[in-house]
Amino acid sequence: MFALALIALAIAGIFTAALGTVHFFFPRLLDFAQAIPRQGAELLPLRLGPIRYATLRSDVYGIAWVMNHAASYTLVGIGIADLLAYWWLGSEGGRWLLFWIAGWWFLRAGSQLYMGRRRGDWWILAGFAWLGIVHLVIAIWNIGA
């Protein structure tokens, strides 16, 4: 069972690290500059209680890059963790890491619906949910302990 879990995590790790690497380039590949123009009508200010911050289009464009890079960094990190599972699989800390990764994948799967509800969106949701299930099952079984 330990070997099967390692194989599953290695496959997940390779996919996730590759996805994270490509994700760094999504702002260019998805043409964020055209999708989020930096010139145009004024935007509503950000309001958090008594705090008011004038929101510029460059802020929205920049936060799209920041969030994309943060997701990229997390994906690469998850991929590396999965690839190094031999050293932590079966430990209590590893179990909690698997639960965290499963939660991340379930969050990402559900968030796919923000992109739309086309057939491809449902396939992507299912693929990310599957990655969550793989991590969850291995965590529950605490394989290697």
pLDDT digits (tens, 9 = 90+) for 119-139: 999 999 999 999 999 999 999
| Domain assignments of the chain as residue spans, ordered by start | 2-141
What's the pLDDT score for residue 99?
97
- What percentage of the chain exceeds 90 in pLDDT? 90
Q: What is the 3-state secondary structure (H, E, C) of 43-109?
A: CCCEEECCEEECCCHHHHHHHHHHHHHHHHHHHHHHHHHHHCHHHHCCCHHHHHHHHHHHHHHHHHH
Q: Convert the pLDDT of each residue in 71-121 to its tens digit.
A: 999 999 999 999 999 999 999 899 999 999 999 999 999 999 999 999 999
37 sits in the region (left: phi over 0; alpha: psi -120 to 50; else beta) called beta
Q: Which residue has the tokens 């964020």?
A: 32
Q: pLDDT at position 1, please?
A: 84
Q: How far apart are the first and last CA of the chain?
A: 11
Mean pLDDT calculated for residue range 7-25 = 97
What is the pLDDT averaged over residues 4-23? Answer: 97
CA atoms within 13 A on the CB side of 138: 34
Confidence of residue 145 (pLDDT cuts 50, 70, 90): low
Q: At 121, is the secondary structure helix, strand, or coil?
A: helix
Rounded to an integer, the average pLDDT of 52-75 is 95
Question: pTM of this prediction?
Answer: 0.91
**57 — pLDDT class (breaks 50, 70, 90):** very high
